[in-house]
Structure 1
Amino acid sequence: MLKGKTALITGTNRGIGKALVEEFACSGADIIAHARRETPEFMQICEGIRAEYGVKVTPLFFDMLDSEAMKNAVRGLISSKTPVNVLINNAGAAHGGLFQMTSMTQIRKVFDINLFSHMELTQHLLRYMAKWGEACVINMGSVLGLDMPRGSCAYGLSKAALMAFTRTLAAECAPLGIRVNALAPGLVDTQMADLMEEEAEKAMMNQCALKRRATPREIGRAAVFLASAESSFINGQILRVDGGKA
């Protein structure tokens, strides 16, 4: 579905990000796999995916909160004329806690990672992406940013803002030939979900009609759909991938 395309995916060292790399590679896309730092384990993952699917997997390293490092990474892509047809803003930080128990410093940090860093990266790349023809941006939201249960004052609110950004950016980028959509996963079987308080996980599971966590690759397949020609008239939308409401 994506042969001839190149996808830049942030936060790919584990969980949903790693599954995104696998699903996009399986669909024929070349990958620019972002991580905060280089490790032997990450390089081994990239090499394994490259060998299994016969696509290019190019590691890209920078801290999402380091503006200068981000700029330098984007300059490197542009100077090497590496195409970017798909941008997936996936990197993020989890947080749960009641508003009165959460410092403003912590809330700002979550917003910096989950919202502002992605806005900055997207801003650096949009004009460059437009040069390669039809392109798309996919933001990784969350059902917590749609339903906003208690304890969502940082993580859920940052995801709500990212999904609102999706809608306004879609209207602005349509004339450039760039579609912008977001995914809103429910509970996914990742290390991040393992860190949830038992009560919060139980509440999400009770609300899920399928009564299970999603696999990371199920989220990856939804992203492949949004990046493909099969969704060519879908723009400015938030796609829930949550197993349905009980």
Structure 2
Amino acid sequence: MLQGKTAIVTGANRGIGRAVVERFANEGAKIWACARKSNSEFERDMSELAEKYNTEIIPLYFDIATETEIKEAVKQIYKTKENVDILVNVAGVVNATLFQMTPMHEIRDVFDTNFFGPICLTQYIIKLMSRQKSGSVINVASISGIDVNPTNCTYGSSKAALIHLSKILASEVGQIGIRVNAVAPGPTETDMIKTVQDVVGSDHLLERCAMGRCAMPREVADTIVYLASDYSSFINGQVIRVDGGSK
């Protein structure tokens, strides 16, 4: 599905991002696998995936919340003078506290990572895609950006902003062949979900899911593969829920 395509995946070291890298590798894509800090275990993991699926995976390190680091990372991609066909913004942080108990610096930190960082990276990469007149941008949002839940004010608002950005950007760049979509996972079996479970409890998370369980990262990644591929060539400006059927 992705043979001959080059993808950038943020948050590639764990959870949904790691699952996306493996699924993309399995489908034949070349991948820039992005993480915040250099790590020998991560590099070994990426090397093993590249060998397993006979493709190229290049670790790339930057803090998605820091514009100067994003700019330096993008320079490395520009230097290759290759097309970038797919951008998947996965990297994110969660905050599960009541609004009145959340300091402003924490709110800013969440928005820097979940919203402003993806905006910055997307601006740079869309410049490349515009020259190609093709590309697919997939933003990993959350059902928290759609549904209303206590303790989700900061996180949910940042994901709601990302969803709205996806829709507006799709209307701006669709005419030049670039598609922008968002995926909104429900509770997913990742390290991040443990933070939320500690606050609201696992029973509360699952009681609103018709299937009665969390998603697996692979299930979210499967949807992202579809949106990245030419099989979704006329899907643009959409938000696809991967939530097991929210009640």
Indicate whether the TM-score tops 0.5: yes
2:144 equivalent in structure 1 = 144
Question: Which amino acid counterpart does residue 185 of structure 1 have in structure 2?
Answer: P
2:46 is paired with a residue whose SS is helix
1:222 equivalent in structure 2 = 223
Given that residues 197 and 205 in structure 2 are in contact (C-alpha distance below 8 angstroms), is that contact kept between their aligned partners in structure 1? no
2:83 is paired with a residue whose SS is coil
2:202 equivalent in structure 1 = 201
Task: Give identity over the alignment, percent.
Answer: 44
Distance in 1 of aligned mates of 2:112 and 2:68? 15
1:4 is paired with a residue whose SS is coil
Given that residues 65 and 117 in structure 1 are in contact (C-alpha distance below 8 angstroms), is that contact kept between their aligned partners in structure 2? yes
Deviations 1:160-217 (A, max 9, x none): 0000000000001112210000000001011111222353532220111111111101
The 5-angstrom pairing of residues 1-246 of structure 1 reads 1-198=1-198, 199-246=200-247
Given that residues 96 and 195 in structure 2 are in contact (C-alpha distance below 8 angstroms), is that contact kept between their aligned partners in structure 1? no
- Structure 1, unaligned runs of 5 or more: none
Per-residue deviation, 1:21? 0.2
Per-residue deviation, 1:123? 0.6
1:128 is paired with a residue whose SS is helix
Deviations 1:62-107 (A, max 9, x none): 1112211211111221122132100001100111011111111111
Distance in 2 of aligned mates of 1:208 and 1:136? 29
Moved more, 56-65 or 159-168: 56-65
Distance in 2 of aligned mates of 1:171 and 1:239? 17
TM-score by length of 2: 0.96
Given that residues 140 and 183 in structure 2 are in contact (C-alpha distance below 8 angstroms), is that contact kept between their aligned partners in structure 1? yes
Distance in 2 of aligned mates of 1:31 and 1:138? 15
Distance in 2 of aligned mates of 1:229 and 1:128? 19
Deviations 1:2-31 (A, max 9, x none): 101111000111111100100111111111
Q: State how many pairs are aligned.
A: 246
Given that residues 30 and 56 in structure 2 are in contact (C-alpha distance below 8 angstroms), is that contact kept between their aligned partners in structure 1? yes
Distance in 1 of aligned mates of 2:3 and 2:201? 40
Question: Which amino acid counterpart does residue 121 of structure 1 have in structure 2?
Answer: L
Given that residues 114 and 158 in structure 1 are in contact (C-alpha distance below 8 angstroms), is that contact kept between their aligned partners in structure 2? yes
Distance in 1 of aligned mates of 2:121 and 2:168? 16
TM-score by length of 1: 0.97
Given that residues 148 and 157 in structure 1 are in contact (C-alpha distance below 8 angstroms), is that contact kept between their aligned partners in structure 2? no
Distance in 1 of aligned mates of 2:79 and 2:21? 24
Q: RMSD of aligned C-alpha atoms?
A: 1.1
